[in-house]
Chains A and B, each alone.
Chain A
Amino acid sequence: MLHLTIEFSGGAELLFGNVKKHQVELNNDTKWTIRELLVWIKDNLLKHKPEMFLQDETIRPGILILVNDSDWDLLGNLSYELNDNDNVTFISTLHGG
């Protein structure tokens, strides 16, 4: 099994029942990249409309993704392959008011 910690902050947690930290286990028969993880999150964790979180099959612009506190821009974005015990953090920079 692939163990991940998924965190939401900066307001993104509101889309997930106001829970900031989620521990999840994924079946590792196949490779998991951020691309597949986003779809999994949409189907399994998201409590609100998909357009609040996703746009054109990627993350909604304005929401940042960090893997183990590193910018996903350094890791190959959607094609980053997740490892066991990775921490994936989603930070919303979108306007709150």
Chain B
Amino acid sequence: MCSNNEGGLTKFEPKPDLALFRKCLKCDKNSVVVTRINDAMCKECFVEYFTHKFRATIGKSKLFDKDEVVMFPYSSSDSSVAMLHLLFKGVGEEAKKKFTFKTICVYIEDNYVFESNSSTHERITFMENVKKSVEYSGFKFYYSLIENCLEPSKNIVSDEIAKLNLNNENKEKFLNLINSCKNQTSKEELLKRLKTQLINRIAIELKIKKIIFPVSCTNLTIDMLTNVALGKGAHLSIETSLEEKLSNGLVYVRPLRELTSKEIAFYNRYNNIDSNIMAKSSSLKNLPNSTIYRLTEKFINSLQNEYPTTVPTIFRTSDKLTPTDELCPEDSCMLCELPVDTIKKISANSSAINDLEYSLSISRLDNTAIEKLFVLKSVCYSCSVVLKDVGGHGNLPQTIKDKIKSRDNLKDKIKEFLIED
């Protein structure tokens, strides 16, 4: 007989009391946090593990050259706060091997724009508070406002809060655009894409090539499943990768992608920096079931509570995916700036897009501007759904309108050479 359990069932004892005395995985101290699948660690070992994992993600792939300048869009969220601290420690005296790249941070104010009752003064105070909370890092900070995504000029970023263009006209325009979305999911998606566009423009303005995004593996997992639901499957692996090269020459890096949101929360707590998190009051309107993103978040978090392997499993799956070779980076979507997936050659195998196009072509509806766009292949499938939902296209940023125009012109010019199919 080689098994211990022969001849009877093993008795399962409840384990709670034992847990109180669980020792740290690495040293003899009492543990304070459960991480990964079921590893208990003490405070010191946990902070060391966390820092090491971050540094390893950056170091392993040799992402940055010496003295290279990278831009960090700081948002005062939990993961932003943690990453700022990690970068600060990485260049500090105590770091064994210092980071050799230089960090420049940008804070984009996108909370008070939704507070109709708030004054400009309150908005400035909020930004001043953010400024105070990041001063310890010593990094150079720039500031911008979310409504600057509509600003056609290059005047979109400043290193002084006082120099920002805080007039209400821009704010109104921006609110009109966002509020013209017919549903919450489109609103959220449009906001996200406009913010990314603004970040890209700021990077170009500051002549920085690499942008580091503080996204945790939990959030990437949620993003990934949300993307599937939004019809953004073609971009799945691009948007969750460690390094993402854009067609305009910019490079996105996601150095927090190996860490979960729980680990980030504990890191912030144990370093006494969780008071630097400035929660957005607009998030109060986000009820658990209000958008596809929030539903996915609820789904993942609930599963994760029961089965700690949930996030790693989904995340590793997305890691194995590669984008199809047929996606052409030069044909980028005018909203999300990712390769367009609606081109015939690519959609040949994906029946959903073909079916949709077929039903559009036989429907008796007049071709509205957006349907025309969809046919013109300037937007990816998912963004075309978002843009259909936007009421006033006149409010779209000039940069997007320019792109539509230039594509229209090009299409006209080459029209006579095109073969009708």
Contacts and interface: CB of A to CB of B under 8 A. Distances in A.
Interface of A: 9-11, 13-15, 20, 48-49, 51-52, 55, 60-62, 64, 66, 69-71, 73-76, 79, 89, 91-97
Contacts of B419: none
A95 B219 contact: yes
B383 interface: no
Contact of A11 (B266, B279, B304): B279
B22 A93 contact: no
Given A14-B281, A61-B305, A97-B110, A69 B269 contact: yes
B265 A93 contact: yes
B305 A51 contact: no
Interface in B77-109: 77-78
With most chain B CB atoms within 10 A of its CB, the pick from A13, A73, A96 is A96
Interface in B202-251: 218-219, 222
A51 to B, nearest CB: 6
B287 A66 contact: no
A49 B282 CA distance: 15
A97 B279 contact: no
A36 B304 CA distance: 24
Interface residues of B, number: 49
Contacts of A60: 288, 301
A38 to B, nearest CB: 15
B280 A89 contact: no
A96 B279 contact: yes
A93 B78 contact: yes
Contacts of A96: 75, 77, 279-280, 283
B346 interface: no
B20 A75 contact: yes
Given A61-B298, A61-B305, A97 B280 contact: yes
A11 to B, nearest CB: 4
A13 B279 contact: yes
A53 B222 CA distance: 20
Given A13-B279, A52-B287, A93 B32 contact: no
Interface in B297-318: 297-298, 301-302, 304-305
A52 B284 CA distance: 8
B374 interface: no
B288 A91 contact: no
A28 B298 CA distance: 35
